[in-house]
Amino acid sequence: MIRHLLTCSFSVALASLAAAQQDVTAYTNARVLAGGRPSMTNATIVVAGGKIVAIGTDVAVPEGAGVVDCTDKTITPGLIDASFVPGISDNDANEQSDEVTPHLRILDSLDPEDPTFRRARRDGVTTAHVMPGTQNVIGGLGCVIKTHGDDPDAMVVKQDASVRIVMGSEPSMRNRAPRGGRVESMYYRRPTTRMGVIWAVRRAFYDAQEAMQKTQGAPDQGAPAPGIEVLTRVLQGKLTAVTTARSEQDLRTALRIAGEFGYQTVIDEAQDAYMVADELAAQSAVVMLGAPSATSVSGGGSRDGAAPRSGTVRALADKGIKFVITTGTNTRRLPLIREAMFAARNGLGPQQALDAITIEPAKLLGVDDRIGSLAAGKDADFVIWSQDPLDPAAVAESVYIDGKSVSQIR
C-alpha cells in the first residue's frame, strides 16, 4: 500500500514537473534593473509557473524553455502604484451616510475591466494600492491588487492593506453648516471645518481605545462594532494607517494625531512635505508622494492650501525620509513611470527613483515577499522597456503579470 502511494506521488511529481517544464520561458541578454540593487547587463530571467525561478548574468537557459531575446531592452519589476485612483465614481468610492466608515472595503466596488486598470498595465503598472475616496474622514479599507484578472478576489495581493484617514477640507465640504442647510438632511452634521474633521478622527480613535480597554477588562463582552475593530487594529500596529494630507497644517495635524494615539501613519499626497521634513524624519513617517509633478490636484479640495514644489523629492531624500512615488490625484494624469522620471530630473538618483515605484511601495504595503523586485521565488511581474525606463521616449513594450503577457506595444 505504502509502495503504491509512493509510486503514485512520484508519478504526480513527474507529471507536474513535465507540466511546469512546458511553460518555462527565459528572457535573455537584457539589461535588468531588478529593484533595490544595481543594474545587471546581459542578464537572463527564467520564468515558470508564474514565478521567477532564476535571475542573473550566469543563469543557463533550461533545456526546452522558450527564449525571448531582450537585446537592447531593459527589464524592470512591474511598477507598483501605491495611491492608484480607479474609475469608480465618487458616489461609490465614498459612503456618505457617515463620516467614519473604517470597515467598508473599496474592493467591493472594483470592476476588473475598469479602463484605468488597462491604462495602468499599458504603462507598466502591475500592482495597485486602491483606497476608498477622500470625502470621508475615515473612508475605509484599501487593498493591494494586481491590475489584471477577471475576479477581484483572485487579483488581490493583500485584502486589508490600509485604512484611509483624510485631513483637510474635503471630508467636510458636502456637510451643511448649522446655518444654511435643511435640518432634515443627513448632511446636516459635523464636520464642516478642519477642526471638526480632527474632532471626528479623535473621537473615533478614542472610542477604539476605550473598546480595547473594555475588552481587556472583560473578554466576554463580544466583538466590537466592525468600524471600531478596524481602528483597534491600527492602534495595535496590525494595520497600516494612511493619512491623506496635502498642506503643511494638515501634515502637522496628521503627525500630531498619530503621536497622540501612538500609531504609525503613512502620509499620502503630502505636497507640502518639504516644509515639515524635520517632523517627518523625527516620527520616521513614510510618505506616499502624490505625483511629484503635480502643480494642482483633483478632488473637491483642489490644492487645499498646499504649494507643491518639484524639489520635494530631493528634500525628502536628503533628510533620509522614506518615500514612494505615486500618481495620486494629479490632474495631469501622468503615467507612474513619468512621475519617476520627473523625480529623477529633479535631483533624485535613477535607481532611487525606480525603487520608489517598485520595491519601496512593496515594502511599505507589506507585499515585498511576492512583488517589487526581481528575484527567484517572486511573482513574475515585470516590464520589458524599449530603453531605459526613465528616458522620456521609453515604451513599456511587454508587460507580464504572473508570467502572463498582459500588454504588448510594438
Partner 1 sequence: MQRITHPLVGAAMLAAIAAPACAQDLLIKAGRIMVAPDSILEDSALLVRDGKIAYVGNDIPTEARARAREIDLGDHTVSPGFVLAATTLKSDADLAEGAFAFTPDLRVAEAFDAWNEHLEHLAPSCVTSFGMAPSPRNVAGGVGVLAKPGKTRGRIAAEDAFVGFSLVSAARSQERDPTSLMGARSLLSDAFEAARVGVEVGPDLAVLRQVMSGARSAMIYGDTYAELNAALALGKQFNFTPVIIGARDAHKVMGKLTERGASVVLGTLSPTKRVAELELPKKLADAGIPFCFAGRPDQLRVSAALAVRHGLSREAAHAALTRTPATLLGQQSAVGALRQGCSADFLVFDGDLLDLNARHIATWVDGVLLCGAEQTQNQHSAGANR
Q: Which residues contact 251 (CB under 8 A, 6 or more apart)?
A: 167, 245, 267, 270, 272, 273, 275, 276, 279, 280
Residue of 109, 232, 244, 398 that binds partner 1 (CB under 8 A): 109
Q: What string marks each residue from 226 to 245 as x (binds partner 1 by CB under 8 A) or -?
A: x-------------------
Quote the least distance from Cβ 201 to partner 1, whole Å.
20
Rule CB under 8 A: say whether 93 interacts with partner 1: yes
Burial of 19 (0-12, 13-18, 19+ CB in 10 A): exposed
For partner 1, which is the closer residue by CB, 28 or 101?
101
- Binding part of the chain for partner 1, among 70-78, 88-96, 254-262, 341-349 by CB under 8 A, reads 88-96
Q: What count of residues does the chain have?
A: 410
Residue of 47, 54, 65, 104 that binds partner 1 (CB under 8 A): 104
Distance, C-alpha 283 to centroid of its chain = 21
Quote the least distance from Cβ 164 to partner 1, whole Å.
12
For partner 1, which is the closer residue by CB, 101 or 312?
101
Which of 298, 404, 272, 363 minimizes the C-alpha distance to 82?
Answer: 363
- Run of H or E including 350: helix 350-355
Q: Strand, helix or coil at 104? A: coil
Q: What pairing do the DSSP bridges indicate for beta strands 66-69 and 125-130?
A: unpaired
Residue of 21, 29, 96, 302 that binds partner 1 (CB under 8 A): 96
- Alpha-carbon separation of residue 298 from 185, 291, 328, 373 (angstroms): 27, 12, 9, 31
How many angstroms separate the CA atoms of 379 and 318, rounded?
Answer: 32
Stretch 251-290 residues interacting with partner 1 (CB under 8 A): none
Q: What string marks each residue from 146 to 165 as x (binds partner 1 by CB under 8 A) or -?
A: ----xxxx------------
Residue of 15, 41, 72, 108 that binds partner 1 (CB under 8 A): 108
Stretch 125-144 residues interacting with partner 1 (CB under 8 A): 132, 140
Rule CB under 8 A: say whether 110 interacts with partner 1: yes
Binding residues for partner 1, rule: CB under 8 A, are 91-98, 101, 103-106, 108-113, 132, 140, 150-153, 185-186, 226
